């Protein structure tokens, strides 16, 4: 009968599984050999060193997986050698076990302080040592697994951030650059993630009215923002064509219903202000109550419809509401991220802690945005958890009704205007509003600003991407290529770009039925074959920009070997 | 925070009760509460009497349950809503999709 003795497990005759390389450091050859023999039986490959200097050299040359360190040795002792080795091992964990004849407390503490991971006092039993080795190996394996996972994780995070940035760029290009009349209203957006699931779109109607869409997708971040692309396309295209509110809503609803999974949807405001600034059409599907400050006080514009993308078709009764307004009235709209912001006051939400006080102090005819943001920043605790969007719209602002320049002068006198952007300035062409608005050159042309902005943006983009940067459109024929195209664009823009683009606008009164504008864009590139451009077919994922320009313009003509294009927009 | 369910076989009804915050963190537990029940076979009661807060992803989850229960003519009732919960459901106009009691 066997006795119970955990330590006394017989050594198996079979060689154990390989366990890596051990470095044995001891100035006593007998000790060295004994330990080496034991380690060999345990499945280690063993290397010996007989003093501190040698230990460091072997560590560098052999890359051991575990080290057994004697303390007292001639020359460099075990403490010094261990400190040295630990400073050389970098991020990798190589356990050092001290085997020492010293037994006093101070020396043992010194072992740990020198960077040792464990210690055993000589003489020791092999059984105990084996158990200690097992424990050390477990720690080491854990360290290695964590290090490997960390590496994978940081690569993934980096990749994810890069993709988020790219997507953000694509989206803001596709979504925000098309917005018209951004100077007519104020809005503040604070995204909770890299980019927002909230959306603000604005576009002129053909009759000079202004339409604004404010939306909040379920959740936030990339997933929420993807839906923004089709919504923006539908909104701008249909608004420029003068399609009525209900049909725009119905089309956006249809598209989202088709695209989004059942648990995703888009709460939205659709606001249309007539060109006189005296009629307001509003529709609220799932957004918080909006506030209209009028001569008679505050009006609440409550949510009266389901958000978009849940039910198709939209129920009949959920049509747009009408309001007669005055040009001095103001509209304040927001996403739920504002109202649900946590505050310092008993953890209450902003809606219950400060929002209504701001409304109470809001005087007729005055802006409210500043005091709202101020109250929010004073009260909020921590960063926002959800996207925040606040929009304030003065219903009849200057430049909208009536202009300082007499009407006759606008229609009967022409103007010529041009700008040349070069090198690092090529990346961003300011909006038409910003360029021409302050000089009063857009007076009387508000009906056409949206279309002109589209034409100029497309022509300018073409000149930049194909002319100056010499990117090939057909890169965009696959989804990967699309990404690659914009990545390449960013790369080429980041290195100092040498080149220029000249944009000229020539207003010719009375040259069409009413008037026309000649748009000319010239670049410093090498030009291209315009025949190739003409062959673009509708199924390709690129080349739509030029088609759009041709649709909007009376004529489009290339010259100077494709480095100059002239488009005539007439009305 | 917890989600419990009770199946009333005699009424062919599933009662799902949400304690605490009903938000994205409950996604899995909420789905688990009905995914093993064959689609369209039972009616549902979502008991929000112990729910302190509801966010838009919770609205999304309710829509998923509605779809599971049979889509447009779905028999999903929501009951016991407190003031804050009611506010969110009202803004979203969910009374057009669910019977809210």
Residue A251, helix vs strand vs coil? helix
A95 at interface of B, judged by CB pairs closer than 8 A: no
Q: How many contacts, defined by CB atoms under 8 Å, are there between A and B?
A: 55
**How far is the CA of B3 from the CAs of A450, A512, B19, B30, B51, in angstroms?**
51, 69, 6, 7, 10
- Asked if the model's pLDDT at residue A504 lies above 90, the reply is yes
For B54, nearest residue in chain A (alpha carbons): A340
Residue among B60, B91, B97 minimizing CB distance to A263 = B60
Q: Looking at the complex, report in whole angstroms how far the Cα of residue A156 sits from the nearest Cα belonging to chain B.
A: 23
* Contact residues on chain A for B61, CB-CB shorter than 8 A: 263
Encoded tokens for A296: 């008679």
B39 at interface of A, judged by CB pairs closer than 8 A: no
* Better-scored residue on pLDDT, A466 or A250: A250
A281 within 8 A of A271, measured Cβ to Cβ: yes
* Contact residues on chain B for A384, CB-CB shorter than 8 A: none
- DSSP-derived letter for residue A380 is B
Q: Looking at the complex, report in whole angstroms how far the Cα of residue A261 sits from the nearest Cα belonging to chain B.
A: 9
- Answer whether the bond into residue A313 is a cis peptide, omega within 30°: yes
A554 within 8 A of A495, measured Cβ to Cβ: no
- Confidence band, pLDDT 50/70/90 cuts, at residue A257: very high
Q: Would you tell me which residues 56-85 of chain B have a C-beta closer than 8 angstroms to some C-beta of chain A?
A: 56-57, 59-61, 63-64, 66-67, 72
CB contact under 8 A, B96 and A315: yes
Give the full edge-to-edge strand order of the sheet including A500-509.
A415-422, A500-509, A515-523, A564-570, A555-559
pLDDT at A196: 66
Q: What is the mean pLDDT of residues A543-568?
A: 81
CB contact under 8 A, B93 and A286: yes
CB contact under 8 A, A286 and B57: no
For A267, nearest residue in chain B (alpha carbons): B92
CB contact under 8 A, A311 and B97: yes
Q: What is the mean pLDDT of residues A140-163?
A: 89
Long-range contacts at A171-179 (CB < 8 A, ≥ 24 apart): A171/A195, A171/A225, A171/A228, A171/A229, A174/A228, A174/A229, A174/A232, A174/A233, A175/A199, A175/A201, A175/A228, A175/A229, A175/A232, A177/A431, A177/A457, A178/A203, A178/A232, A178/A236, A178/A453, A178/A454, A178/A457, A179/A203
* Contact residues on chain B for A306, CB-CB shorter than 8 A: 92-94, 96-97
pLDDT at B75: 84
- Confidence band, pLDDT 50/70/90 cuts, at residue A77: very high
- Asked if the model's pLDDT at residue A1 lies above 50, the reply is no
Contacts of B89 (CB under 8 A, 6+ apart): B54, B59, B78, B81, B95, B100
Best of A219, A253, A262, A263 to substitute, by most chain B Cβ atoms within 10 angstroms, is A263
Q: What is the mean pLDDT of residues A342-363?
A: 91
A388 within 8 A of A475, measured Cβ to Cβ: no
A286 at interface of B, judged by CB pairs closer than 8 A: yes
pLDDT at A355: 94
A472 class by beta-carbon count within 10 Å (0-12 exposed, 13-18 middle, 19+ buried):
middle
CB contact under 8 A, A267 and B60: no
Best of B93, B94, B96 to substitute, by most chain A Cβ atoms within 10 angstroms, is B93
Q: What are the phi and psi torsion angles at A26 (to 5°)?
A: -160, 135
Q: What is the mean pLDDT of residues A240-269?
A: 90
A369 at interface of B, judged by CB pairs closer than 8 A: no
pLDDT at B87: 83
Encoded tokens for A558: 């290339």
- Asked if the model's pLDDT at residue A14 lies above 70, the reply is no
CB contact under 8 A, A219 and B56: yes
For B24, nearest residue in chain A (alpha carbons): A219
* Contact residues on chain B for A305, CB-CB shorter than 8 A: 93
CB contact under 8 A, A286 and B67: no
A199 at interface of B, judged by CB pairs closer than 8 A: no
Pairing of strands B76-79, B99-100: parallel
Q: What are the phi and psi torsion angles at A565 (to 5°)?
A: -130, 140
Q: Which of the residue ranges A24-28, A529-533, A545-549 has the most confident prediction, judged by mean pLDDT?
A: A24-28
Residue among B55, B57, B64 minimizing CB distance to A262 = B64
* Contact residues on chain A for B94, CB-CB shorter than 8 A: 306
pLDDT at A453: 78
- Asked if the model's pLDDT at residue A451 lies above 90, the reply is no
B24 at interface of A, judged by CB pairs closer than 8 A: yes
pLDDT in tens, B41-96: 899 999 999 998 887 778 888 988 998 998 777 789 999 998 888 888 888 888 88
Encoded tokens for A214: 């404010």
Residue among A286, A311, A315 minimizing CB distance to B92 = A286
Residue among B64, B90, B92 minimizing CB distance to A263 = B64
A455 class by beta-carbon count within 10 Å (0-12 exposed, 13-18 middle, 19+ buried):
buried
Residue among A264, A286, A310 minimizing CB distance to B91 = A286
- Confidence band, pLDDT 50/70/90 cuts, at residue A220: low
For A315, nearest residue in chain B (alpha carbons): B96
* Contact residues on chain A for B96, CB-CB shorter than 8 A: 306, 311, 315
Q: Write down the mean pLDDT value for chain A.
A: 83
Encoded tokens for A305: 């419809």
CB contact under 8 A, A306 and B97: yes
* Token pair 């360029």 in the structure block, residue: A435
A288 at interface of B, judged by CB pairs closer than 8 A: yes
DSSP H or E stretch at residue A182: none
Pairing of strands A21-25, A66-70: parallel
For B94, nearest residue in chain A (alpha carbons): A306
Least confident of A263-267, A324-328, B57-61, B71-75: B71-75
B96 at interface of A, judged by CB pairs closer than 8 A: yes
Residue among B24, B57, B63 minimizing CB distance to A310 = B63
* Contact residues on chain A for B91, CB-CB shorter than 8 A: 267, 286-289, 303, 336
pLDDT in tens, A382-437: 777 778 899 999 987 534 333 334 444 445 678 889 999 988 888 878 878 778 87
CB contact under 8 A, A310 and B97: yes
- Confidence band, pLDDT 50/70/90 cuts, at residue A195: low
Contacts of B87 (CB under 8 A, 6+ apart): none
**How far is the CA of B83 from the CAs of A91, A303, A346, in angstroms?**
54, 17, 18
């Amino acid at each position: 009968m066997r006795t119970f003795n955990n330590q006394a497990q017989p050594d198996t005759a079979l060689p154990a599984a390989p366990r890596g390389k051990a470095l044995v450091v001891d100035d006593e050859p007998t000790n060295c050999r004994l330990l080496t023999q034991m380690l060999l039986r345990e499945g280690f490959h063993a290397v010996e060193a007989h003093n501190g200097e040698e230990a460091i050299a072997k560590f560098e040359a052999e890359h051991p997986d575990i080290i057994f360190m004697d303390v007292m040795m001639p020359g460099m002792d075990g403490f010094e050698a261990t400190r040295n080795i630990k400073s050389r091992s970098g991020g990798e964990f190589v356990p050092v076990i001290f085997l020492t004849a010293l037994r006093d407390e101070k020396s043992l503490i010194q072992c740990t302080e020198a960077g040792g991971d464990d210690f055993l006092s000589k003489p020791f039993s092999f059984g105990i040592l084996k158990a200690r080795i097992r424990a050390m190996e477990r720690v080491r394996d854990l360290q290695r697994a964590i290090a490997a996972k960390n590496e994978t994780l940081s690569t993934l995070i980096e990749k994810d951030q890069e993709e988020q940035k790219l997507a953000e760029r694509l989206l803001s290009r596709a979504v925000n650059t098309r917005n018209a009349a951004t100077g007519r209203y104020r809005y503040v957006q604070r995204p909770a993630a890299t980019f927002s699931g909230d959306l603000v779109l604005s576009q002129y109607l053909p009759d000079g009215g202004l339409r604004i869409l404010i939306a909040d997708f379920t959740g936030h971040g990339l997933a929420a923002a993807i839906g923004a692309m089709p919504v923006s396309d539908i909104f701008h295209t249909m608004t420029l064509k003068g399609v009525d509110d209900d049909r725009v809503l119905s089309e956006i609803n249809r598209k989202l219903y088709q695209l989004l999974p059942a648990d995703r949807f888009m709460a939205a405001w659709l606001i249309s202000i007539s060109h006189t600034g005296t009629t307001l059409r509003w529709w609220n599907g799932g957004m918080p109550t909006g506030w209209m400050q009028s001569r008679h006080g505050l009006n609440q514009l409550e949510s009266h419809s389901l958000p978009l993308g849940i039910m198709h078709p939209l129920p009949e009764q959920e049509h747009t509401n009408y309001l007669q307004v005055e040009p001095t009235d103001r509209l304040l709209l927001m996403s739920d991220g504002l109202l649900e912001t946590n505050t310092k006051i008993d953890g209450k939400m902003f809606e219950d802690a400060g929002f209504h006080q701001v409304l109470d102090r809001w005087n007729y005819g005055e802006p409210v945005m500043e005091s709202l943001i101020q109250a929010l920043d004073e009260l909020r605790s921590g960063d926002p958890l959800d996207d925040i969007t606040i929009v304030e719209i003065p219903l009849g602002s200057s430049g909208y009704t009536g202009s300082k320049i007499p009407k006759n002068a606008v229609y009967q006198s022409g103007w010529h205007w041009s700008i040349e952007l070069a090198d690092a300035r090529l990346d961003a062409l300011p909006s038409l509003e910003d360029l021409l608005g302050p000089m009063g050159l857009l007076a009387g042309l508000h009906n056409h600003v949206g279309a002109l902005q589209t034409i100029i943006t497309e022509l300018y983009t073409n000149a930049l991407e194909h002319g100056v940067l010499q990117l090939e459109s057909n890169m965009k024929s696959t989804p990967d290529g699309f990404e690659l195209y914009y990545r390449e664009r960013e790369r080429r823009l980041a290195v100092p770009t040498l080149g220029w683009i000249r944009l000229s606008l020539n207003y010719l009164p009375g040259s069409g039925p009413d008037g026309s504008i000649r748009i000319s864009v010239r670049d410093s590139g090498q030009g291209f074959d315009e025949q190739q451009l003409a062959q673009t077919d509708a199924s390709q994922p690129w080349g739509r920009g030029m088609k759009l320009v041709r649709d909007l313009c009376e004529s489009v003509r290339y010259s100077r070997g494709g480095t100059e294009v002239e488009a005539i927009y007439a009305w | 925070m917890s989600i419990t369910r009770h199946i009333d076989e005699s009424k062919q009804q599933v009662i799902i009760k949400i304690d605490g915050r009903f938000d994205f963190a409950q996604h899995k537990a909420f789905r688990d509460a009905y995914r093993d029940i064959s689609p369209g076979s039972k009616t549902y009661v979502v008991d929000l009497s112990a729910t302190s807060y509801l966010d838009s992803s919770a609205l999304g989850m309710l829509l998923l349950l509605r779809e599971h229960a049979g889509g447009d003519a779905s028999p999903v009732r929501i009951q016991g809503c407190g003031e804050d919960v009611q506010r969110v459901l009202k803004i979203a106009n969910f009374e057009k999709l669910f019977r809210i009691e």
